[in-house]
Amino acid sequence: MTTRSDLPQPAPSAFLREAGAGPAVVCLHANAGSSSQWRGLMDALGPTHHVLAPDNWGAGKSPAWPHARKVTLADEVDLLGPVFDRAGARFVLVGHSYGGAVALKAALRYRSRVNALVLYEPTLFSLVDAQGPPPNGADGIRTAVAASVTALARGDRDAAAAHFINFWMGAGAWVATPPARKPAITEAIVAVEHWAHALLQEPAPLQDFAQLDLPVLYMVGERSPEPAQAVARLLIPALPRVTVRRFDGLGHMAPVTHPEVVNAAIVDFLHSA
């Protein structure tokens, strides 16, 4: 007799926000956030594009990572396979921070289907380490992650979130975070060691990205921390068809803190690419 537990279980699927019709655009969010960060962009592109915004493993309404080993960027791309199928034969990838790193990996795997790539400071720190071991430009994020992991070990999620958010947004940013937003971040921060492993340990040879012969918009905030700037200094010269936008006075989380500015740049690029 076959019991319910013996039956094949459906593969986990990403939670997906979807809007509009037209050329497909898949938007990938940053750590400690969810697909909700792209609501403004979905509104802006919805009249002309089919916009798909999934949640990564363990983020928003997507399932938790089910295995004992740490998640990799390749695992994130695997989760998004059905999303890319829904997007159709051709699509644009948009990614911010961790989502930008996932977008780069996805572009390599699906390069024959990706029309263009839009990146806001992809945090592919393994590129920095590949150029030379620590101490290097990725040291700041290593220190912030270590502090977060130490706080988690003593059961203090609030302190763990504070270390992470303050690193990316500046001293005092966690205290200034609206109380309604904090629970989702403190829940997500338990995965900080997984994020760091994916971004620092997963091989990402720079020469692989030099093969991405497609239009790329690479956005950088003037006030962003050194690790994000270090990745930009390596990736921008390697990408063969890159347009660079630098935003005075903005930081790493500008797609969340100043969405109208970043989204306008994305819309302009997509309408001209």
Q: Quick one: pLDDT band at residue 10, thresholds 50, 70, 90?
A: low
Q: Quick one: pLDDT band at residue 2, thresholds 50, 70, 90?
A: very low
Mean of per-residue pLDDT scores for the chain: 95
CA angle 167, 169, 174 (to 5 degrees): 85
Of the candidates 137, 145, 119, the one whose C-alpha atom is nearest the C-alpha of residue 226 is: 137
Confidence at residue 204, expressed as pLDDT on a 0 to 100 scale: 87
When mean pLDDT is compared across 7-16, 38-47, 153-162, 202-211, the lowest value belongs to 7-16
Q: Quick one: pLDDT band at residue 261, thresholds 50, 70, 90?
A: very high
What percentage of residues in the chain have a pLDDT greater than 90?
94
Q: What is the mean pLDDT of residues 140-166?
A: 98
Query: How large is the greatest C-alpha to C-alpha distance in the chain, in angstroms?
Result: 66
Contact of 60 with 34, CB cutoff 8 Å? yes
Whole-angstrom CA distances from 34 to 46, 57, 117, 121, 181 are 19, 10, 20, 17, 12
pLDDT digit string, tens, across residues 90-103 = 999 999 999 999 99
pLDDT digit string, tens, across residues 214-239 = 999 999 999 999 999 999 999 999 99
